[in-house]
Structures are given as structure tokens and as C-alpha cells.
Amino acid sequence: MRKKRKFIVPILIIALFFTIITNPSTAFASTDNIKSITDQTLEYDEIVQYLNENALTETVVTNEVDYIRNLMSYSQDELIKYGFTVDEANEIINYNYNEKLIEFVENNKGNLDIMGYSPSEVNRLESYDGTEDALEYIETYALGATLTVEWAPWLINTTNQFRILYTTTWSAQPIFNYSDIIAIGFVGYNSSSIPIGMKYDETPSCNVQTYRSSVYLGTKSYSPDTVSNNSVSFKFPMSMVNAEYSKITSGSVRVSTVSNSSNLYRMSISFGYGHTVIGIGSPSVDISVTGINVSIAFSYTTETTYRKLRVYTYNGTLVSEV
């Protein structure tokens, strides 16, 4: 049974919604013709097949303009307090987005339509000459890309292991491209809400499909940028040479109880996608697990494009999300 929801988030609004699922008896269905939960690797089409049947689909619009304006509104002292050097703080405050927008259009001229931009968006982008404020221009004409996120745990009534599957897809190449981050935090606990020690059953993976315009170029595999007992993150370049960019990601994280005990009752899982909007400093993420709570916080130059925390029972029932 497929459970699908689509959220189109307004261009200038970031909100986190807390929802209690009204049908707690609904659980994930198994998919018979793909590998079992214990297999070492899954192909992209197998991940997509499972998520198409079992995941919640969410689509968000990047909020680059509002996020950038907020970042540039900080004083030098505030930016230094957040960890930037004096030179980095001054560069952020005086960053020339007019030049960046012109550079984006010039690098992709003639290809913007097959990159996912509509005819009217292409016309607006190619008409930009740098005389208007780039951020106001993008805001006025609602220029931007959408990110579709699908993720879910693979839970087939097992009380000693689970696997998190995910995929993300950009509708078009975002205007501002640096390094993006995928972050996953998790904690399993027993029926008394006491956390259970977990171990990785395989090296967590992140496979990135690169495109030039609408042409698939290949898949690159990225090792974890950070990894701990309860969290993992992946960092990858959004934009590369010759208008190549990271359009699609997919991967899995498979863990089991440390002692192989069968007392896994619930798990809290948080999934986040951070889109970096300014090429200053090193984008990073902090994934914090305290008790049965999981939180994700991206660094200041990285927009929280998507972030959601969900609680599941061992058989896949979605209890809550925030």
C-alpha cells in the first residue's frame, strides 16, 4: 500500500509541522521481488520501487533568497560568533549575487529549458543583465528549483534490525550551487523507552547521479563525511565543471542491535537535506541524539531545505512526525 503526500512549500516560507498520524494501524508492506533486508547492497531501481510503495513523498521549493537575505543581515561580530573569520564575515556581508546569477546563466545558456526551467523562467533568466538586484529579481519572478524527498525505514516485523532507504531528486539545477549535505540520525529503543545500542551492518552509502542539462552522465559513490553510532552524513558537490550537477541521490543505512537482541520496539529517525547557498567556509551539520530524541542542525551557510523527524514501531507503523 502506497502512502503518498506532496507538500508544495511557498517560496518564502520554511515551516516544520508536527503531525500525529490518525491511522496507527497502517504499516509498511513488504516488496516481494527485491532483495531482503539483510542483503548487502540495493540498486537504485530497487530503492525507488520500495519507496514508491511505502514512503511519504514530499516536494519542497528552495528558499534561497530568504535564507541568503537573513544570512547577509548578520553583523560582522555576529558572524564571527558563529565561527566565521573576519575575512569570511566581510565576504558574506558583501557577497556579489548579481555576478553569481550572471555566471549561472552564462554557463548554462541554451540549456536552461532542458535543465527543468519553464519557458518564462528561461526568458527571465536570460534577460538578466546585472543592473537589478539578483535576489529581488529571483524573488519577483519566483525563479528556483524544487527538491523531491522520499525516505522510509525498511521494517518487516523484525525486532533486531532496520534499514533506512532514501532518494532525493532536483527538478532543475538550483541557481546557487556549492556543496550539499544529507544527514540521517536515528535511535532505537525498547518498550520502556530505553535506548538500545545499535551497530552498522554495512558501510552507509550515498550514490549521486550527475547530469548535464537533462543528460545522465553517471553515478558517483560518496563515503560518509561524518559517522557515529547513531548518525551519518554525506557531503557532495552540487555543481561541477561543464555545467554538470548532482541531480539525484539515493542510498541506505542498515543497522542492528549490538547484541542481536530482539527487543527493538520503536525508533526515532531524522532525515535532513542541506543546500549550501554561499561558497564561504565549510558547510557542516550537527546531528544530536539525546535519549530518544534526534535533532539535525546545518551550518549557517547551508539552508535547511528539508528536515523531518519520524517515530516508527518495529513493524513500520508511523506514530508521529515533526
Measuring CA to CA, which residue among 19, 36, 29 is closest to residue 52?
29
Q: What is the pLDDT of residue 14?
A: 27
Q: What is the pLDDT of residue 297?
A: 95
Are the C-beta atoms of 3 and 26 separated by less than 8 Å? yes
Please report, rounded to a whole number, the percentage of residues in the chain having pLDDT higher than 90.
41
Could you tell me the pTM of the whole model?
0.81
Q: What is the pLDDT of residue 5?
A: 43
Measuring CA to CA, which residue among 316, 185, 191 is closest to residue 264?
191
DSSP character for 280? S
The burial of 45, by beta-carbon neighbours within 10 Å (0-12 exposed, 13-18 middle, 19 or more buried), is given as: exposed
Are the C-beta atoms of 34 and 49 separated by less than 8 Å? yes
Q: How far, in Å, CA of 243 to CA of 292, rounded?
A: 43
Residues 6+ apart with CB under 8 A from 290: none
Per-residue pLDDT tens for 33-69? 555 555 667 788 888 888 888 777 788 866 678 888 8
Are the C-beta atoms of 252 and 34 separated by less than 8 Å? no
Cell of 237: 558537490
Cell 542492528 locates to: 256
- Place 25 in a pLDDT band, splitting at 50, 70 and 90: very low
Please provide the size of the chain in residues.
322
Mean pLDDT of all residues in 140-146: 80
Q: What is the pLDDT of residue 68?
A: 84
Q: What is the pLDDT of residue 15?
A: 29
Q: What is the pLDDT of residue 219?
A: 95
Cα→Cα distances 197→25, 80, 255, 257, Å: 27, 38, 10, 6
Cα→Cα distances 84→35, 66, 250, 300, Å: 46, 20, 32, 10
Q: How far, in Å, CA of 284 to CA of 178, rounded?
A: 12
Are the C-beta atoms of 143 and 124 separated by less than 8 Å? yes
Cα→Cα distances 67→12, 204, 219, 276, Å: 9, 30, 30, 10
Mean pLDDT of all residues in 284-300: 92
Q: What is the DSSP string of 250-277?
A: EEEEEEEETT--S---EEEEEEEEEEE-
- Place 9 in a pLDDT band, splitting at 50, 70 and 90: very low
Per-residue pLDDT tens for 253-272? 999 999 888 899 999 999 99
Cell of 197: 545500542
Domain positions in the chain: 19-64+146-321
Q: How many CB atoms lie within 10 A of CB 314?
A: 23
Per-residue pLDDT tens for 154-172? 876 678 888 899 999 998 8
Are the C-beta atoms of 245 and 282 separated by less than 8 Å? no
Cα→Cα distances 207→14, 100, 204, Å: 27, 28, 10
Q: What is the pLDDT of residue 37?
A: 59
Q: What is the DSSP string of 30-46?
A: P-TTS--TT-S---HHH
Q: What is the DSSP string of 27-86?
A: -PPP-TTS--TT-S---HHHHHHHHHHHPEEEEEE--HHHHHHHHHTS-HHHHHHTT--H
Res. 197: pLDDT tops 50: yes
Are the C-beta atoms of 251 and 296 separated by less than 8 Å? no
Are the C-beta atoms of 160 and 262 separated by less than 8 Å? yes
SS3 222: strand
Q: What is the pLDDT of residue 216?
A: 92
Q: How far, in Å, CA of 95 to CA of 103, rounded?
A: 14
Higher model confidence: residue 208 or residue 240?
208
